[in-house]
Structure 1
Amino acid sequence: MAESTGRDPDTDGESSQHGGIQSVDRALTILGILSRDGQAGVSEIAEEMGIHKSTASRLLGSLVAREMVHQNSERGKYRLGFGILRLANSIPGRLSLVREARPVLEALADEFKETVNLAVLRSNFAVNLDQAMGPSTLATYDWVGSLTPLHATSSGKVLLAGLSADECARILDETGLPARTPHTITDRAALETQLLDVARQGYGIVRQEFEIGITSISVPVCNHVGAVIGAISISGPAFRFDPEQEPGLLEGLKEAGLKVSARMGYARR
């Protein structure tokens, strides 16, 4: 008869699995501490996590071996390593702005009953990549793929405000400020002052500047390094749509911009 080990294979499997999950959780906690503090010693990490110093040292050793963590010297403090950077840099290319934004656009359109668009900067224009229509939307025009002027649209102003001063000046030099309606801002100094306000307040608004009868408001979408990569707008008929007076709209739109930004890797400050 085979000698009994006195152990239950199923129980052993569960114990091993639990230990593995705990190790992963602890390793991620260490990465979080280093991300927050910049650097930390093994004793500091062990104390904060409430684990033995030898356990913290073993976990750090595994992270160092995989270049997730770097030790400043043989007995120095630890900081995040280049392995983290390699992983982070592989994410943006795999993310689709349209895919990540789509459910947010639909939720906005459903809540505020107006047209919602997602736009990006391409060749000195704002290009609409996606659109969601609210249930009571009056307009039926499909703006997807349309090129719209940066200086006369809320999305365009958000995209311009996110550029460096030199890049913004280059675009305005090349495109000029042609009037689309009697309300279009065609004075360069006035537009530049408005763009400073857009950057400061976190949203841009146009009232019949691009099209008579249409008011629009936009917020930025940012990527993992905080650069503006897109704009989400809500548009509606000027006779009834006043976004700054609509209860909850500005807050909801800003939250939507932050939600899509987070999906693109942006960390809220």
Structure 2
Amino acid sequence: MTEDLGRQAGAPVRSVDRALQVLDILARDGETTLGSLSRELGVHKSTVSRLVDVLARHDLVAVPDGVGGYRLGVGCLRLASATAGGLSVSAVAQSVCDELAADLDETCNVAILSERMAVNVCQAEGTTTIAMRNWIGQSTSPHATSNGKVLLAHLTDAELREVVVGRLPRFTARTIATRDELRRELAAIRTQGYAYAREEYEEGLQAVAAPIRDHTGRVVAALSAAGPVYRLSDAEFPRVRDAVIRAADEVSRRLGHRPSVAG
């Protein structure tokens, strides 16, 4: 009896799964045909046609009108708007920050860019006896912190000129102090996907950060792990960096980001 129920429930569940795959493919490719969907899903074109017909009735898929292929419909915009409106970066990131801090036993922060400053909106502490101070709500000059440099790296040239004005204040001997040096650093961050800060804001403080993206792919925040030099040494940076990148990617996923698929 249980097996019969399982078989009866299996087909609708598979249909839902395939319908969601259709939406993911359209989100990735922008536009495609029934034939392409059929090949990627590994099902007959008639099955795909029935799926997109149902999705189209709910405005989740736009049917081609003479030319072009199937696209996401306006119903997706309504869903995205309702979801995005209820997603706070700090609320979504907190549990991920907590797990990262516990894993690394270091202080982890999430920062956004506001009023030309990097503002910390989320923090979690490790269990180490010598811990960092509370950074939530604190503003820091973005050129001198790992979080801030990640945020600056993903601005347009025009936005960067609006944010970075006047001279770059020097906090330590290692602080970036010229625009040329900052531009080179930001270009490297965009390429490698993370930022380091080696005693650039405070003597003895090291940090690494990675970008957080929203459902549009835009960088909306940065997640960092920071600690004293004797704990977060150069030898430890690769391990910490990889953990921070994974955590930032997880927050991005929870905000609706789907990385593009190559090939």
Is the 8 Å Cα contact of residues 132 and 227 (structure 2) preserved in structure 1?
A: no
Which 10-residue stretch deviates more, 102-111 or 144-153?
102-111
Q: Does 2:255 match 1:264?
A: yes
Q: Hey, what does 2:185 align to over in structure 1?
A: 194
Q: Hey, what does 1:4 align to over in structure 2?
A: none
Q: Does 2:150 match 1:145?
A: no
> Post-superposition shift, 1:177?
0.8
Q: Hey, what does 1:112 align to over in structure 2?
A: 104
Q: Does 2:118 match 1:122?
A: no
| Structure 2 alignment gaps of length 5 or more | none
Q: Hey, what does 2:77 align to over in structure 1?
A: 85
Amino acid at match of 1:82: V
TM-aligned CA distance change 1:240 to 1:27, over 3 Å:
closer
> Post-superposition shift, 1:51?
5.2
TM-aligned CA distance change 1:83 to 1:252, over 3 Å:
same
1:47-66 deviations in Å (ceiling 9; x for gaps): 66565655443333222222
> Post-superposition shift, 1:74?
6.0
Amino acid at match of 1:214: L
TM-aligned CA distance change 1:137 to 1:218, over 3 Å:
farther
TM-aligned CA distance change 1:128 to 1:18, over 3 Å:
same
1:144-199 deviations in Å (ceiling 9; x for gaps): 1111111111111111111111111111115x311222322221211121111111
Q: 2:57 aligns with which of 58, 61, 65?
A: 65
Is the 8 Å Cα contact of residues 225 and 240 (structure 2) preserved in structure 1?
A: no
Q: Distance in 2 between matches of 1:30 and 1:144?
A: 41
Within-5 A mapping of 1:207-226 = 207-226=198-217
Q: Distance in 1 between matches of 2:3 and 2:140?
A: 64
> Post-superposition shift, 1:30?
3.3
Q: Distance in 2 between matches of 1:36 and 1:182?
A: 45
User: Percent of aligned pairs with the same residue?
Assistant: 38
Q: Distance in 2 between matches of 1:177 and 1:254?
A: 27
Give the secondary structure class of the aligned counterpart of 2:176: coil
Is the 8 Å Cα contact of residues 202 and 219 (structure 1) preserved in structure 2?
A: yes
Amino acid at match of 2:196: I
Q: 2:244 aligns with which of 229, 235, 253?
A: 253
For the pair shown, the structure with the greater C-alpha radius of gyration is 1
Q: Distance in 2 between matches of 1:231 and 1:216?
A: 12
Q: Distance in 2 between matches of 1:27 and 1:242?
A: 48
TM-aligned CA distance change 1:190 to 1:137, over 3 Å:
farther
> Post-superposition shift, 1:256?
1.0
| Structure 1 alignment gaps of length 5 or more | 1-7
Within-5 A mapping of 1:29-68 = 29-42=21-34, 45=37, 49=41, 53-68=45-60
Q: Hey, what does 1:98 align to over in structure 2?
A: 90
Within-5 A mapping of 1:164-183 = 164-173=156-165, 176-183=167-174
TM score, norm. by length of structure 1? 0.83
How many equivalent residue pairs? 260
> Post-superposition shift, 1:45?
4.4
Amino acid at match of 2:104: F
CA RMSD in angstroms, aligned pairs only: 2.9
Give the secondary structure class of the aligned counterpart of 2:76: helix
